[in-house]
Structure 1
């Protein structure tokens, strides 16, 4: 058995429901169920009666529950003692995030970190990627989620979480809707709807256009990808975003853009020689983004 199984067992026992327990520990319901089944096999006893609508503890589960809580409390006491030595009981963690970018693994990482270190004050601020990178370099932010064009910032540690090409998203009936791909030069003949300057996707587009010697007509821009897509769905222009941003949008057709070699990248960046607080956060980030 391990502490994760004990945590899931206590969560299901207290919530009396696998779905609510999964929400509480921030993993899937199937993941919680699988860990509980493995725990039961290791113990050689069923811990829950699953026959009723509400999950109930068996006699074995009721006997195990106080010991599981004691074990988790002891583990937390060990972490607290180590945190006190490492300076993690109190402190601040300053996070930056590119404007309009809702990346839930980052939120999952912060939530997991907060549960482990509840006295650490976390602040989160949005800005464009160029400002965020400079804030990290200057020590005004400990960690930032930034969107960059083609390469990672020099002089900083980083974790790439996404790297993909650009697509054009158009409404049904648009001239480009039935194409398998579109050359960059042809694309720039249409009014474009883009993210602002300072975002990775806009940087990729601007650099590609400069290299090809073409000048795009940016008719509209918005800080949120959803707003860019909404404008395109109303026939106001061609939305320029990354492939994953348009993958599940109903009513729009995504067309890959030719002649754009630079990827749009999303990455976490931080200074070398990070603080004890940041060292404690990074494993939560790696687990959240790996999932």
Structure 2
């Protein structure tokens, strides 16, 4: 059994395609296929189901996958330990960012890291928070900027950068705009405009509704909160937005406090609790924690400190 066979196997599983996996590992596709076939013959089991349009791991492949990832991570850690001993920081780091996240802030952070460590390759990908956290836990990325509706999942530590309430936003002519606050129940009676499932904002909304026995009527979805605001401004529904986004569209939209319960969301820097896989990843995490603006740099995986919804707001003068 060779490390390259494990590397190719993991790449095919994650890409669900031999061609994309070959491009990822910079090897011709027949070479990838041949090495995986050799691994299967050695183990005496087929690891991949090649019968469908996408390649999927078999039951044997699912059993082998975590061990293959662990072996590759151990090798990367060994190389990182040697580099650290020699005072070197090199290799590659993979960064994830929630779609429509603070692109400029992340770009500045990565530019600063590149200036300090020019020998480290950097890749950046956008996705939903749910998929980014899964990739982080599986070791496919080293650090991520994600949206959180509650505590981080097991095995993930975070540094909260932004913590703000969500509001309902509607144009001035909408009946909702005449109110200072709206209950979650009343909000669910309206057609809503929200981020897609898997995002921190949508998770906060869906979780709060489920706890209250409500079903939100989401008529429009978009991955950019600013698009949600523009759709609402054109009378297509009530947008559920972070406070800062709603404030940026104050000339077009009226922000209404959501109560019983209120909703909060967080943007956080996230990394694996058991530590980075390489010295390059460790350097990136340290650099990001020092340079990204935000709240106090405290790690937490405590659900009590990161509740999914805030306490009901009883201070508003008029409720819808």
TM-score, normalised relative to structure 1:
0.68
Deviations 1:211-231 (A, max 9, x none): 111111101000111111110
2:246 is aligned with 1:246: yes
1:285 aligns with 2:288: yes
1:233 corresponds to: 233
Counterpart CA distance in 1 for 2:196 and 2:182 is 22
- Would the alpha carbon gap of residues 103 and 161 (structure 1) be closer, same or farther in structure 2, given more than 3 Å must change? farther
Provide the residue aligned with 1:49 in structure 2: none
Distance of aligned partners of 1:109 and 1:84 in 2 relative to their CA distance in 1, 3 Å threshold? farther
d(CA) in 2 for partners of 1:172, 1:84:
62
4+ residue segments displaced more than 6 Å? none
Quote the RMSD (CA, aligned, Å).
1.8
- Could you say which residue in structure 2 is the equivalent of 1:166? 166
Taking the aligned partners of 1:157 and 1:270, their CA distance within structure 2 comes to 6
| Residue of structure 1 in register with 2:33 after alignment | none
CA shift in 2, pair 1:114/1:140, >3 Å: same
Shift of 1:145: 0.9
Counterpart of 1:106 in structure 2 is 106
How many aligned positions are there? 209
Q: Which runs of 5+ in 2 are unaligned?
A: 1-82, 295-320
Q: CA deviation at 1:101?
A: 1.9
Partner of 1:184: 184
**Bigger mean CA deviation after superposition, 97-106 or 139-148:** 97-106
- Secondary structure of 1:154 counterpart: coil
Equivalent residue for 2:22?
none
Shift of 1:142: 0.4
Per the alignment, residue 138 of structure 1 pairs with 138
Name structure 1 gaps, 5 residues minimum.
Answer: 1-81
Structure 1 residues 1-291: aligned runs within 5 Å:
85-88=86-89, 90-249=90-249, 250-261=251-262, 263-271=264-272, 272-274=274-276, 275-290=278-293
Question: Contact 1:151 / 1:265 at 8 angstroms: preserved in 2?
Answer: no
Contact persistence 1:195–1:221 (CA under 8 A): yes
Conserved in 1, the CA contact under 8 Å of 2:169 and 2:232? yes
- Scaled by the length of structure 2, the TM-score of the pair is 0.62
* Cα deviations by residue, 1:229-262 (Å, 9 ceiling, x for unpaired): 1101111000101112212213111111002355
Call closer, same or farther: CA 1:269–1:260 in 2, change over 3 Å.
same
Partners of 2:232 and 2:259 lie apart in 1 by 20
Asked whether the equivalents of residues 184 and 258 of structure 2 are also in contact (C-alpha less than 8 Å), the reply is yes
CA distance in 1, matches of 2:245, 2:210: 24
Cα displacement (A) at 1:178: 2.2
**How far apart are the structure 2 equivalents of 1:177 and 1:262?**
18
Contact 1:166 1:263 in 2 (8 A): yes
Residues 152-176 of structure 1, C-alpha deviations (whole Å, 9 max, x = no match) = 2221121111122210111111111
Q: Distance in 2 between matches of 1:103 and 1:204?
A: 23
- Equivalent in the alignment of 1:32: none
CA contact (8 A) 2:84 2:279 kept: no
